[in-house]
Structure 1
Amino acid sequence: MTLPSYYSVSNTCDKNFDIFSLIWLDGNTNAKEVRDTEQKLRSIINQVQKFADIEPCQKYIKERSTKERLIIIVSGRLGREIVPSIHNLRQVISIYVYCLDKEGNEKWSSQYKKVKAVVVKLDELLCRIKDDHKIEEIVEQPLSINIFTTSTGVGTSTTGFNGQFVFFQVLIDCLLRVKYTEADRKELIHRCKQQYEGNTVEINNIREFEMDYSPVKALWWYTRETFFYKMINAVLRNQDIHLMFLFRGCIYDILHQLEAKQANMPLKVYRSQTISNDELETLKQCCDQFISVNSFFSTSTNYQQAISFINFSYGVDNLQKVLFEIDADPRMSSTKPFADISSCSEYGDDSEVLFMLGSIFRLNDINRSRDDEYWIISMNFCSDEEHELKYVLVDIKEQFMSEETNLRTLGTVLWKMGKLDLAEKYFVRMLEEIPSDDPLVMDLYQDLGQLTSQMGCYDQSIQWHQKSLILKNQNKLTSITNPNEASISIGKFIEGNSIK
Structure 2
Amino acid sequence: MESTKIVWHDPSIFNIENSCYIKDHLSQLEYQAFATVSETAQFLSTTKDKWILVTSGTNGQELVVQIHDLPAVIGIIIFCGNYEYNKQWSSAFKKVKRVETQSFKRVVEQARKIWDQLVAYNVLFMTQKGTKEYDQIIEALEIDSCGSPTAPLRLEKIRKKAYYHMEKELEMSFLQICKLALKNEAIPRAAVLSELRSFGIADEDKEEIEGKFGLYPNDLLRSFVYTYTSDVVYKRLNECYAKNVYGRVMNITAACLLELKNRPELMLHNPTVLWRGVEIPENILKKLTVGEKGFWPAFTSTAMRKEVALSPPFKGNVLFEIHLQENEAHPHIIAGAWSEYEDEQEVLFLPYFPLVITNIRKIGKMTHIIIEQDQTHPSLAINSQTLINYWRARLEAEVITPIDKICDTIRNKVTNSIDLVAYFRQDFDSDNSAPSFSKDFEKVIRATYKKYEPEIKKLNNSLSGSLLDYVKIMKDDLLNSAVFHIKARIENIFDLEFERIKHNFIKIMSYETITTFNIPDALLRNLISKVFNLATVSHFSSCSQVKSTIHEETKGELESSIYIDTFISELIRAIRHGTYGYREGIEETNNEIKIELNRQLEELKLKIHQSLENVLL
Residue in 2 aligned with 1:146? 124
Deviations 1:161-186 (A, max 9, x none): 20221122123224424699999879
Alignment of structure 1 residues 344-355 onto 2, 5 Å = 344-348=338-342, 350-355=344-349
Alignment of structure 1 residues 79-478 onto 2, 5 Å = 84=66, 87-90=69-72, 92-94=74-76, 96=78, 114=95, 126=104, 129=107, 133=111, 136=114, 139-140=117-118, 142-149=120-127, 158-176=159-177, 177=179, 188=195, 191-194=198-201, 196=202, 200=204, 202-208=205-211, 215-222=220-227, 224-236=229-241, 239-242=242-245, 244-259=246-261, 260-261=263-264, 262-284=267-289, 287-309=290-312, 313=315, 321-333=317-329, 336-342=330-336, 344-348=338-342, 350-369=344-363, 372-383=364-375, 384=377, 390=390, 394-395=394-395
Distance in 1, Cα, partners of 2:321 & 2:32: 40
Distance in 2, Cα, partners of 1:220 & 1:146: 24
Larger gyration radius, structure 1 or structure 2: 2
Distance in 1, Cα, partners of 2:190 & 2:310: 44
Is the 2:276–2:303 contact (alpha carbons within 8 Å) kept by the matching residues of 1? Answer: yes
Deviations 1:55-75 (A, max 9, x none): 9993898243x5xx5233479
Report the CA distance shift for 1:268/1:281 in structure 2 as closer, same or farther (over 3 A): same
Is the 2:195–2:252 contact (alpha carbons within 8 Å) kept by the matching residues of 1? Answer: no
| Other structure's SS at 2:327 match | helix
Residue 249 of structure 1, CA deviation: 1.3
Deviations 1:182-214 (A, max 9, x none): 9987974664332x45xx4x3431342676777
Distance in 2, Cα, partners of 1:224 & 1:184: 19
Residue 366 of structure 1, CA deviation: 0.4
Deviations 1:457-483 (A, max 9, x none): xxxxxxxxxxxxxxxxxxxxxxxxxxx
Distance in 2, Cα, partners of 1:349 & 1:360: 27
More strand by share: 1
Residue in 2 aligned with 1:36? 20
Deviations 1:347-390 (A, max 9, x none): 55543222220010111120123xx2421101111233579x94
Distance in 2, Cα, partners of 1:364 & 1:70: 33
Is the 1:98–1:125 contact (alpha carbons within 8 Å) kept by the matching residues of 2? Answer: no
Is the 1:364–1:380 contact (alpha carbons within 8 Å) kept by the matching residues of 2? Answer: yes
Distance in 1, Cα, partners of 2:118 & 2:311: 14
Deviations 1:419-466 (A, max 9, x none): xxxx9xx9xxxxxxxxxxxxx9xx9xxxxxxxxxxxxxxxxxxxxxxx
Residue in 2 aligned with 1:22? 6
Distance in 2, Cα, partners of 1:148 & 1:332: 21
Is the 2:34–2:40 contact (alpha carbons within 8 Å) kept by the matching residues of 1? Answer: no
| Other structure's SS at 2:47 match | helix
Distance in 2, Cα, partners of 1:208 & 1:230: 18
Distance in 2, Cα, partners of 1:191 & 1:394: 34
Report the CA distance shift for 1:396/1:81 in structure 2 as closer, same or farther (over 3 A): farther
Is the 1:135–1:309 contact (alpha carbons within 8 Å) kept by the matching residues of 2? Answer: no
Report the CA distance shift for 1:324/1:57 in structure 2 as closer, same or farther (over 3 A): same
| Other structure's SS at 1:129 match | helix
Is the 2:278–2:318 contact (alpha carbons within 8 Å) kept by the matching residues of 1? Answer: yes
Is the 2:45–2:67 contact (alpha carbons within 8 Å) kept by the matching residues of 1? Answer: no
Is the 2:277–2:317 contact (alpha carbons within 8 Å) kept by the matching residues of 1? Answer: yes
Is the 2:277–2:320 contact (alpha carbons within 8 Å) kept by the matching residues of 1? Answer: yes
Report the CA distance shift for 1:397/1:357 in structure 2 as closer, same or farther (over 3 A): farther
Report the CA distance shift for 1:393/1:217 in structure 2 as closer, same or farther (over 3 A): farther
Distance in 2, Cα, partners of 1:39 & 1:80: 27
Is the 1:170–1:397 contact (alpha carbons within 8 Å) kept by the matching residues of 2? Answer: no
Kindly indicate whether structure 1 or structure 2 has the higher relative contact order, using CA contacts under 8 Å at least 6 residues apart. Answer: 1
Q: Would you say 1:62 and 2:40 are equivalent positions?
A: no
Residue 227 of structure 1, CA deviation: 1.0
| Other structure's SS at 1:227 match | coil
Report the CA distance shift for 1:345/1:416 in structure 2 as closer, same or farther (over 3 A): farther
Report the CA distance shift for 1:128/1:221 in structure 2 as closer, same or farther (over 3 A): closer
Residue 112 of structure 1, CA deviation: 6.4
Is the 2:196–2:233 contact (alpha carbons within 8 Å) kept by the matching residues of 1? Answer: no
Structure 1 segments, 4+ long, off by >6 Å, are 74-83, 108-112, 116-119, 179-187, 210-214
Residue 325 of structure 1, CA deviation: 1.1
| Alignment-mate amino acid for residue 192 of structure 1 | F
Larger mean CA deviation between 267-276 and 390-399 belongs to 390-399
Aligned residues: 360
| Other structure's SS at 2:294 match | strand
Report the CA distance shift for 1:330/1:394 in structure 2 as closer, same or farther (over 3 A): farther
Distance in 2, Cα, partners of 1:345 & 1:51: 31
Report the CA distance shift for 1:60/1:394 in structure 2 as closer, same or farther (over 3 A): farther
Residue 216 of structure 1, CA deviation: 3.3
Is the 1:175–1:245 contact (alpha carbons within 8 Å) kept by the matching residues of 2? Answer: no
Distance in 2, Cα, partners of 1:110 & 1:349: 20
Is the 1:148–1:165 contact (alpha carbons within 8 Å) kept by the matching residues of 2? Answer: yes
Is the 2:52–2:75 contact (alpha carbons within 8 Å) kept by the matching residues of 1? Answer: yes
TM-score scaled by length of structure 2: 0.46
Larger mean CA deviation between 55-64 and 223-232 belongs to 55-64
Is the 1:170–1:393 contact (alpha carbons within 8 Å) kept by the matching residues of 2? Answer: no
Question: Quick one: percent identity of the two aligned structures?
Answer: 14
The answer for unaligned runs of 5 or more in structure 1 is 1-13, 314-319, 404-411, 418-422, 427-439, 444-500
| Alignment-mate amino acid for residue 220 of structure 1 | V
Is the 1:265–1:329 contact (alpha carbons within 8 Å) kept by the matching residues of 2? Answer: yes
Is the 2:75–2:97 contact (alpha carbons within 8 Å) kept by the matching residues of 1? Answer: no
Residue in 2 aligned with 1:432? none
| Other structure's SS at 1:357 match | coil
Query: CA RMSD, aligned part only?
Result: 5.2
Report the CA distance shift for 1:229/1:210 in structure 2 as closer, same or farther (over 3 A): same
More helix by share: 2
Residue in 2 aligned with 1:476? none
Distance in 1, Cα, partners of 2:164 & 2:321: 27
Residue 126 of structure 1, CA deviation: 3.7
